[in-house]
């Protein structure tokens, strides 16, 4: 595509969000091919790519299909109509799925077999294994399977979202004289998709069989007296985006509970079917789910690759996994267990997963048990099962503290867990609210108010990621503890705004979506452009998950044209097109895909030598800047500011092993060290910060 002589606002200057998201998934899949990655971790990356694709269809493709169905003319700055987006998505996604199964069958499975980790096909079972499989089928599967023959009194059953199903072709008459030709077998979700063959029946330590292989092998037993001509796996992906009109419902929690049930049976958006399925059977499924040919994906293996995620945990082979690590503890926190005293002496910055998440739970438990603490307030987006954070809040409430928790019920795919969490906290005596109608609460905040002598002091934690101990070992995020009085008042105002009507006034130190963040970010970008026009050094460095908000992109283009050097470290979606002559020549975009999911948001502006660095919960996307409650906080401590720039910006810009560089045509090319010394940003942080 020729993008010369274009100006901001021209559709050719913006990449399509959905296609950019698929490109990110392609980079994840490439990790499954990377021979420098431990073998079982390569399998994990394959599963992550499959899981990402599931969510992409459930949410993004589903939304586009709804736009087409209702003749909506919505499109992004690239101006590609929804119908054309769906065609382009289909072409890209089909190639991606084909590559997934090629990587599985041609690369990973042979390599796993070389390591005595085998997945036996039916044709490979010896007599002893076949006998064990039959016993397993009769004992564990036959009692829970509910085959349904399709005839006038047995219509096509409702197929659960992403469930494993089999379309069976039959011949013959049953006991009632019915001549059924097609039946459906649904595999209950409780059944394991991968079964470990007992050592007594295996020739090696790690031998597995797929549930689908067992059902295929004994499908005749499910239909006694009938002749089975074929048995074909299939899976349907459905629209899983919950629709609840916040302004029309009286009780958001109750409305969401009702909507969650419907998620399992939303409109079909994708059909995955075994590659050997005959055309007429495939067509029958297409018609049943009202799908087009472009919505059908042939699978040369299990129709749900995500279920292979269980394998690394079933195989005790540390040599085929990433080396374990122990998150580091700050010396200040190990020498003094009194979190309040440590925070009073100076701001504390934690970089997860390289540094421990434990100080956050320690902080909350200390607050729960301290008789001088009177108030605890926290936002919760995702927490995970058996959360220590939640236990601390429950204990605080049971001890009579004034506990207020803002729970985002509409955290995608965590709605059920958050509904249960809200109920538990309310039963313990905590005040639970669900934020602002029409605006997700995405800010990560804790406020503790403590009586110290004759005054009340506010202690605050602000983060870029969720209060979730499990993801804190997988996602890169920053967290800041501070007792800065102005920030404390700002955070208190945010909580008042979330829980009660009224106007809290302008915040002094926090940028705040949907009010001041977007405007201020544009002003900060424009300020760098003015410095550049004045002949001064100007630099912008940003790290975040996604960049798609058009006004922000246009401001970056204008800054680039003014001469500002701009480095963008964007993990996923990037709608900005770098390297366009006369527009974005000064912008470099890179994506880091490695052991940990890059998740922190960092904004850095040179500011004529007085550098300003913000940490934030917000990406530069329309939803974050206009439709969510988000905060960004300035790092005022010079030492911490320099540390962030070194760790999270310069370190990642220098990465030449896991960095992907975005080219002006929309493709990504992987960085290579060449003759230079290899630099792995995540490993350097592990070496520097972990124990």
Segments of 509-551 assigned E as strands: 510-513, 539-544
Radius of gyration of the chain (CA): 27
- Tokens of residue 550, six digits: 């058009």
Say whether 439 is catalytic.
no
Beta strands in 283-372 (DSSP E): 296-299, 348-352
Question: Distance between CA 192 and CA 124 in Å, rounded?
Answer: 21
Whether residue 556 contacts residue 575, with contact meaning beta carbons closer than 8 Å, is answered with: no
C-alpha span between 450 and 448 (Å, rounded): 6
Exposed, middle or buried by CB within 10 Å (0-12, 13-18, 19+), for 312?
buried
Q: Are 580 and 15 in contact (CB under 8 A)?
A: no
CB within 8 Å of 19: residues ≥ 6 apart: 85, 88, 89, 92, 666
Distance, CA of 143 to CA of 137 (rounded, Å): 9
Alpha helices in 431-535 (DSSP H): 485-499, 517-533
Dihedral, CA of residue 15, residue 630, residue 659 and residue 469, to nearest 10: -140
Kindly report the number of other CB atoms within 10 A of residue 84's CB atom.
13
- Of the CA atoms within 13 Å of residue 226, those in its CB half-sphere come to 26
Report the distance separating Cα 350 and Cα 684, nearest Å: 16
206, 442, 468, 658: the catalytic one is 442
For residue 166, give the 3-state DSSP assignment.
strand
Residues designated catalytic: 442
């Amino acid at each position: 595509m020729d993008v010369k002589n274009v100006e901001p606002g021209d559709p050719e200057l913006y990449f399509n969000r959905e296609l950019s998201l698929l490109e990110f998934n392609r980079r994840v899949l490439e990790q499954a091919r990377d021979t420098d990655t431990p073998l079982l971790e390569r399998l994990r990356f394959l599963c992550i790519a499959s899981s990402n694709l599931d969510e992409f269809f459930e949410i993004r493709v589903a939304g586009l299909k709804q736009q087409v169905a209702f003749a909506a003319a919505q499109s992004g700055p690239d101006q590609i109509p929804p119908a054309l987006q769906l065609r382009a998505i289909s072409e890209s996604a089909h190639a991606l799925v084909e590559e997934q199964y090629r990587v599985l069958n041609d690369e990973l499975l042979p390599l796993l077999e070389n390591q005595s980790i085998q997945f036996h096909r039916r044709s490979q079972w010896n007599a002893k294994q076949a006998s064990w499989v039959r016993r397993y089928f009769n004992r564990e599967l036959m009692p829970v399977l509910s085959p349904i023959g399709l005839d006038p009194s047995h219509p096509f059953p409702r197929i659960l979202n992403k469930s494993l199903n089999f379309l069976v072709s039959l011949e013959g008459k049953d006991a009632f004289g019915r001549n059924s030709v097609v039946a459906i077998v649904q595999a209950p979700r409780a059944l394991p998709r991968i079964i470990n063959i007992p050592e007594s029946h295996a020739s090696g330590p790690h031998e597995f069989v797929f549930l689908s292989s067992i059902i295929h092998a004994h499908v005749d037993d499910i239909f006694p007296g009938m002749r089975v001509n074929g048995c074909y796996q299939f899976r349907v992906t459905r629209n899983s985006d919950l629709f609840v009109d916040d302004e029309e419902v009286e009780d958001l929690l109750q409305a969401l509970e009702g909507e969650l049930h419907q998620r399992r049976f939303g409109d079909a958006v994708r059909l995955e079917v075994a590659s050997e399925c005959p055309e007429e059977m495939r067509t029958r499924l297409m018609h049943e789910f009202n799908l087009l040919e472009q919505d059908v994906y042939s699978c040369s293996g299990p129709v749900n690759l995500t279920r292979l995620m269980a394998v690394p945990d079933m195989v005790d082979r540390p040599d085929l996994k990433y080396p374990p690590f122990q998150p580091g503890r700050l010396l200040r926190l190990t020498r003094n267990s009194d979190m309040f005293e440590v925070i009073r002496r100076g701001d504390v910055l934690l970089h997860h997963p390289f540094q421990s998440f434990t100080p956050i739970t320690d902080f909350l438990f200390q607050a729960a048990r301290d008789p001088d603490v009177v108030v605890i307030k926290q936002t919760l987006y995702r927490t995970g099962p058996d959360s220590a954070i939640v236990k601390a809040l429950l204990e605080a409430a049971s001890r009579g503290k004034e506990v207020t928790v803002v729970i985002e019920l509409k955290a995608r795919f965590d709605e059920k867990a958050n509904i249960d969490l809200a109920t538990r906290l309310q039963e313990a005596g905590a005040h639970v609210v669900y934020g602002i109608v029409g605006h997700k609460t995405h800010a990560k905040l804790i406020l503790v108010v403590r009586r110290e002598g004759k005054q009340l002091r506010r202690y605050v934690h602000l983060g870029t990621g969720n209060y979730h101990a499990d993801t804190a070992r997988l996602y890169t995020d920053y967290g800041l503890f501070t007792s800065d009085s102005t920030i404390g008042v700002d955070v208190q105002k945010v909580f008042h705004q979330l829980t009660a009507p009224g106007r809290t006034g302008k915040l002094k130190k926090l940028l705040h979506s949907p009010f001041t963040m977007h405007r201020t970010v544009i002003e900060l970008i424009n300020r760098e452009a003015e410095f550049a026009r004045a002949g001064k050094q100007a630099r912008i460095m940003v790290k975040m998950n996604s960049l798609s908000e058009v006004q922000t992109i246009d401001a970056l283009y204008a800054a680039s044209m003014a001469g500002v050097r701009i480095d963008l470290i964007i993990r996923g979606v990037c709608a900005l097109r770098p390297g366009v002559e006369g527009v974005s020549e000064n912008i470099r975009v890179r994506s880091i895909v490695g052991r940990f999911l890059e998740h922190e948001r960092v904004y850095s502006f040179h500011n004529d030598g007085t550098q300003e660095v913000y940490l934030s919960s917000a990406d530069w996307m329309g939803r974050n800047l206009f439709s969510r409650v988000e905060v960004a906080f300035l790092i005022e401590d010079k030492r911490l500011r320099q540390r962030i720039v070194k760790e999270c910006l310069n370190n990642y810009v220098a990465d030449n092993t896991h960095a992907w560089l975005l080219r002006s045509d929309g493709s990504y090319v992987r960085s290579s060290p060449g003759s230079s010394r290899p630099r792995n940003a995540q490993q350097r942080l592990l070496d520097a910060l972990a124990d």
